[in-house]
Amino acid sequence: MQFRFCALILAGVFGSGGCHDPSLVTVDVQAPVVEVVLDRRVSTTPTLELVFSKPMASETLSSESVVLVAHRLGGGGFCDVDLACPSLGRCVEGVCQHKVVDEAWLKDLAHPPLSASRRALVVPATLTVDEGGYRAWLTPAVKLEPDRLHTLLIAPTLRDRRGNRLASDGVYRKEFLTDDGSRAKPRPAMVWPQNGAVAVPTNLRALVFRFDKHVEGLSRDTVRLVGPRGNAVGADIDIDVDVVKDAGLCSQWPVGQCYALRPWNWLEPRTTYALRFSQGIWDTIGQAPLITGEMRFATGPGPDHIPPKLTHLSQRLTGECLILDFQSDEQVRVTASLASVPPVGMVAEQGRHEIALETGGVWGWQNIDVGLADLAGNSTLYRYDQHFAILPKISITEVMANPSGVEPAQEWIEIFNGEDSAISIGGWTLDDNDDGQGINHLPAAVIPAKSFALLVGPKFKVQNMSGDLPPPATTFVRLSTTLGAQGLANGGEMLALRNSLGRLVSSAVALPSPGDGRSLERVSAGGCDLRENWRANSERGPSPGAAPTDLPWR
């Protein structure tokens, strides 16, 4: 809603001046609206996002105006319904929970600061606001208790940039329940062969499946491999067998347990088989599995007695990571091992893949073993030598190839020194596409320990940066030429950072720009230079010279 005002001109008597002047004063009195983006059940380590319909005054957004309060436990003993809880309490997982926020609380919140007794009940948290004032994020500083009701409160002291209060006409309230996932029903997944696989050999050595949490009751009676004529294949169920553990088939799930079903006989050719679960399986709190669809695979014309092979194998060493690029001629389990470094494994479909070994600082000549095993149990071992050198822990951590401002002048690359001491990058090079065509020679600059630096071109201007500005202490490394051959490609290109000896210290993968004014950022500074370790930054925008708040490694 907007009101228009004009001044009446008094000229002896009210004359013809009236309110016909086109240059009228417009006053915005429309109340802003807030939306809190969260599910009914929220993680115990959440970041609560607040979205406003109008830009808010940042000085009114504080730990006094946005607070989170947990409900009080107890009263009434065990409960199964809300009516069993006194004083209008809520029954949650057998425990009564009561609101602590009453009318006196709301009045106190409307006239900050909160009293000491009420402030003690507030969950400690940090509040961050985007530059435009349309979004804010509340992140608890402690892990919330699971199965606990909480109330998010926004005080009426919150104002937009024109001084209007929220449309809620008082304290805004939003309740939610925390959930650590422990009460979710267990879900199965077939991983070897993968669900939907075709041309599986009839001499399948083992079918491997897993649940996302521990379950009990697995046996020949509750797990069956079913063909077109019923349960035609007998099988034994093995738990945590060597074929599962050694191949790394379970490494991709943070929790859970792997199981191997071993057929007694060969499977029938050109036949579809389904993995089925019967009643009698439960998790530690008695819940049956959640089966969302049948898991199937189809056999090929017969058995497979030919060992698998790699049609391509190459490697690159960046920092403390050895990345193997390989291509297989069939679905295989791949394991890679190096000296005393724990082996890594993965399941790979026919085609090209990457697997990374964190070398742990080994140096000199070392043996690398790459083992393959196919569905029929045939195996192949590749062995070669690789020379390792100890390199500084410096990583390319963020790339702005498509700034909102002038290109390529406003492009930048962020690097991070993970060492405990300062590092000089004089004599180092940066190469786009790692082809020697767009080499930048870095000047003699020193990056402090555990600090960020920005590589920029000669015409770069800090005041023209889009989004948040870097912290004042950020090191700027100004190059004599634009970054890359002719600037950074918005379509994506590999970036290679090499030391003065030509050793590859870090690289950024070739991913396209996520959009105007948005950057690509590394998920883990110590992680290997793989595609899955990079992402488009969040809607909060780039974070040059600083740590994105939602990434734990920084």
pLDDT at 48 over 70: yes
How does strand 215-216 pair with strand 34-37? unpaired
Please, are residues 45 and 144 in contact by the beta-carbon 8 Å criterion? yes
Cβ neighbourhood burial of 491 (10 Å; 0-12, 13-18, 19+): exposed
Mean pLDDT of 136-164: 90
Cα–Cα distance, 280 to 218 (Å, whole number): 8
Has domain 34-178 been given CATH number 3.90.1150.10? no
| Gap between the Cα atoms of 17 and 28, Å rounded | 25
Specify the pLDDT at position 451: 92
- Hey, where are the domains in the chain? 34-178, 188-298, 310-388, 394-536
Query: Which whole-number Å values give the CA distances from 193 to 200, 244, 469, in the listed order?
Result: 8, 12, 50
pLDDT above 90 as % of the chain: 23
Residue 3 has pLDDT above 70, yes or no: no
Reduced to 3 states (helix: H, G, I; strand: E, B; else coil), residue 265 is coil
Rg, C-alpha atoms of the chain:
31
**Which fold does the domain 394-536 belong to in CATH?**
Immunoglobulin-like (2.60.40)
321-338: pLDDT as tens digits: 888 888 888 888 888 888
371 or 238: whose pLDDT is higher? 371
- Enumerate the β-bridge partners of residue 316: 323
- Establish whether domains 34-178 and 310-388 are of one fold: yes
The CATH code that applies to domain 188-298 is 2.60.40.1220
**Separation between Cα atoms, residue 224 and residue 544, nearest integer Å:** 54
The type of residue at 404 is S
The mean per-residue pLDDT over the stretch 247-257 comes to: 53
pLDDT for res 554: 47
When comparing pLDDT for 142 and 219, which is higher? Answer: 142
Q: What is the largest CA-CA distance in the chain?
A: 111
CATH fold label, 310-388: Immunoglobulin-like (2.60.40)
For the residues 302-306, what does the mean pLDDT come to? 96
DSSP 8-state class, residue 345: E
Tell me the mean pLDDT in the region 369-388: 90
Asked if the model's pLDDT at residue 217 lies above 70, the reply is: yes
Q: Are 97 and 88 in contact (CB under 8 A)?
A: no
Q: What residues are paired with 546 via a beta bridge?
A: none
Give CA separation, 332 vs 247, 248, 402, 406, in Å. 10, 12, 39, 48
- Looking at residue 424, its pLDDT comes to 95
Mean pLDDT of the chain: 82
- Most confident option among 371-385, 432-446, 463-477: 371-385
Angle made by CA atoms 121, 156, 160, in degrees to the nearest 5: 125
Q: What is the pLDDT of residues 261-289, one digit of tens each?
A: 888 788 999 999 999 888 888 887 788 88
Burial grade of 12 (CB within 10 A; 0-12, 13-18, 19 or more): exposed
Out of 270-274, 309-313, 530-534, the most confident range is 270-274
Contacts of 124 (CB under 8 A, 6+ apart): 140, 141, 142
